[in-house]
Amino acid sequence: MFEIDFQAFLDALPNIGKGYLGIFAVTAVIVLIVYMFNTIPEKVYEHERKKDEAKKNK
């Protein structure tokens, strides 16, 4: 401990790169899917709103 271990740092580098880029890759997929959700539901939202209103009127 407390000895600078440059080899351990070099060994960790690929995981550092893959890990940080990996988060962005997964995030990109999630963002794409959420954008897809947001394009579809305009009609769904309108339908839900009408259903809620009908329930309230009952």
Partner 1 sequence: MDVLFQPLLSIFDQPKMVVMWVIGAVLIFLAIKKEMEPTLLLPMGFGAILVNLPESGAKSVIDALFQVGIEYHELFPLILFIGIGAMIDFEPLLTNPKLMFFGAAAQFGIFFTLGAASLLGFAPNDAASIAIIGAADGPTAIYVAQILKSNFLPAIMVAAYSYMALVPIVQPPIIKLCTTKAERKIKMAYEGKKVSKTTKILFPIIITMIVGVVAPDSVALIGFLMFGNLIRECGVLNSLSETAQNVLANLITIFLGITIASKMTANEFLRVETLLIMGLGLVAFVFDTFGGIMLAKFMNLFLKKNKINPMIGAAGISAFPMSARVVHKMGLEEDNQNFLLMHSIGVNVSGQIASVIAGGLILAFYGN
The amino acid that residue 27 corresponds to is: T
Binders of partner 1 among residues 23 to 42 (CB under 8 A) are 23-31, 33-35, 37-38, 41
Q: Measure the CA–CA gap between 46 and 41, rounded to whole angstroms.
A: 8
Given the complex with partner 1, which of 26 and 53 has the nearer CB atom? 26
**H and E: helices and strands count for the chain:** 2, 0
Query: Would you count residue 20 as binding partner 1 (CB under 8 A)?
Result: yes
Residues that bind partner 1 (CB under 8 A): 1-6, 8-9, 11-13, 15-16, 18-20, 22-31, 33-35, 37-38, 41, 44-45, 48
